[in-house]
């Protein structure tokens, strides 16, 4: 059955891979599943046809036959459940990998998004200069804890899993800020994720959309 996802017609990041379709593309590439992409404009995202797929008028969405999903956590979990390569077979290891997916989305991503909001949307407010260091500290607190847990390991719990895919995707948003450089093991962890052939294919595919150049790989 054909899998179709939605992505920005033109991502505000110009193809740096930070929009959330990249994590879904990555999961599909890890699982070896071909997919099609329907590009949507900001306007089309708020129109009834897209709102029927995504109640909040966002990308990405995922369609497979009669099934339509939104929310990257749910989409990546669905892909990981149905195809080999993203979740371990052992039940306890699988539960731990899923826990890391939730940790990425519920515990690590919120302060990172808060920082993006503080910088991009609130940077011109008179109180921004005072607030920004507080928000940055909350990000650093989480990174310090994650860094301590990862220690010298390659991945969060044994082999690469959907938990790592989600955590690396979340941390990538910090790359332009340089904050990750304060945590060398996390910077190396993100680089390991980016070096995976499946990530490269996903990145190149979204880059091609945003630059008009065909993927090289
Ligand atoms: N919780 C949802 C999920 O994980 O699927 C969040 C989905 C979401 O935030 N989608 C964004 C969207 O559709 C695109 S990814 N926004 C349009 C809207 O809400 O009207 C967020 C994003 C956008 C741009 C950049 N960037 O330019 O760097 C990075 C991330």
Whole-angstrom CA distances from 147 to 54, 162, 173, 189 are 34, 18, 16, 10
Q: Are 79 and 105 found together in one domain?
A: no
The rounded Å distance from CA 89 to ligand 1 centre is 31
Asked whether 39 lines ligand 1 (CB < 6 A), one says no
> Is 176 a member of any domain?
yes
> Is 180 a member of any domain?
yes
* Number of compact structural domains in the chain: 2
Q: Which two tokens stand for residue 205?
A: 């595919």
CATH code, 188: 1.20.1050.10
Q: What atom of ligand 1 comes closest to residue 16's alpha carbon?
A: 28
The rounded Å distance from CA 60 to ligand 1 centre is 8
Q: Are 44 and 102 found together in one domain?
A: no
Mutation choice for ligand 1 from 15, 20, 70, CB with most ligand atoms inside 8 A: 20
Q: Are 78 and 175 found together in one domain?
A: no
Asked whether 71 lines ligand 1 (CB < 6 A), one says yes
pLDDT of residue 215: 73
Domain that holds residue 72: 3-85+198-211
Asked whether 209 lines ligand 1 (CB < 6 A), one says no
Among 167, 197, 205, CA closest to 17: 205
Q: Are 144 and 179 found together in one domain?
A: yes
pLDDT, tens digit (0-9, with 9 covering 90-100), for 137-154: 999 999 999 999 999 999
CA angle, residues 40, 41, 46, in degrees to nearest 5: 90
Q: Are 97 and 166 found together in one domain?
A: yes
Confidence of residue 214 (pLDDT cuts 50, 70, 90): confident
- Distant-in-sequence, close-in-space partners of 71: CB < 8 Å, separation ≥ 6: none
Query: Of all helices (H) and strands (E), which one includes residue 64?
Result: strand 61-64
The rounded Å distance from CA 43 to ligand 1 centre is 14
What phi, psi does 63 have (nearest 5°)?
-125, 135
Q: What atom of ligand 1 comes closest to residue 70's alpha carbon?
A: 5
Closest Cα to atom 16 of ligand 1: 58
Q: Are 108 and 47 found together in one domain?
A: no
Residues of the chain with pLDDT > 70, as a percent, come to 99
Confidence of residue 73 (pLDDT cuts 50, 70, 90): very high
Q: Are 37 and 101 found together in one domain?
A: no
pLDDT of residue 213: 76
pLDDT of 197 > 80? The answer is yes
Q: Are 191 and 119 found together in one domain?
A: yes
pLDDT of residue 11: 95
CATH code, 16: 3.40.30.10
Interstrand relation of 3-8 and 36-40 (parallel, antiparallel or unpaired): parallel
Q: Are 177 and 203 found together in one domain?
A: no
Asked whether 12 lines ligand 1 (CB < 6 A), one says yes
Confidence of residue 165 (pLDDT cuts 50, 70, 90): very high
Q: Are 97 and 184 found together in one domain?
A: yes
> Is 216 a member of any domain?
no
The rounded Å distance from CA 170 to ligand 1 centre is 12
pLDDT of residue 44: 98
pLDDT, tens digit (0-9, with 9 covering 90-100), for 79-117: 999 999 999 999 999 999 999 999 999 999 999 999 999
For 41, the 3-state DSSP assignment is coil
Cis peptide before 30 (omega within 30 of 0): no
Name the strands in the sheet holding 67-70, side by side, starting at the edge strand that comes first in the sequence: 36-40, 3-8, 61-64, 67-70
The rounded Å distance from CA 147 to ligand 1 centre is 26
Which pTM value belongs to this model?
0.96
């Amino acid at each position: 059955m054909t899998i179709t996802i939605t992505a920005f017609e033109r991502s505000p990041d110009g193809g740096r891979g930070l929009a959330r379709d990249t994590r879904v593309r990555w999961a599909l590439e890890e699982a070896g599943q071909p997919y099609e992409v329907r590009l949507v404009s900001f306007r089309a995202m708020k129109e009834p046809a897209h709102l029927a797929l995504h109640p909040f008028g966002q990308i990405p969405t995922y369609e497979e036959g009669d099934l339509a999903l939104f929310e990257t956590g749910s989409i990546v979990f669905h892909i990981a459940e149905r195809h080999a390569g993203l979740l371990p077979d052992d039940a306890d290891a699988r539960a731990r990998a899923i826990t890391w997916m939730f940790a990425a989305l519920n515990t690590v991503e919120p302060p990172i998004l808060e920082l993006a909001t503080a910088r991009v949307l609130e940077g011109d407010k008179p109180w921004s200069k005072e607030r920004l260091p507080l928000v940055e500290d909350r990000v650093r607190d989480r990174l310090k804890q994650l860094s301590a847990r990862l220690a010298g390991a390659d991945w969060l719990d044994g082999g690469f899993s959907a938990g790592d895919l989600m955590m690396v995707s979340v941390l990538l948003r910090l790359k332009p800020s340089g904050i990750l450089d304060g945590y060398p093991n996390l910077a190396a962890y993100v680089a390991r994720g980016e070096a995976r052939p499946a990530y490269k294919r996903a990145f190149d595919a979204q880059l091609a959309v945003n630059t008009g150049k065909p993927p090289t790989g």
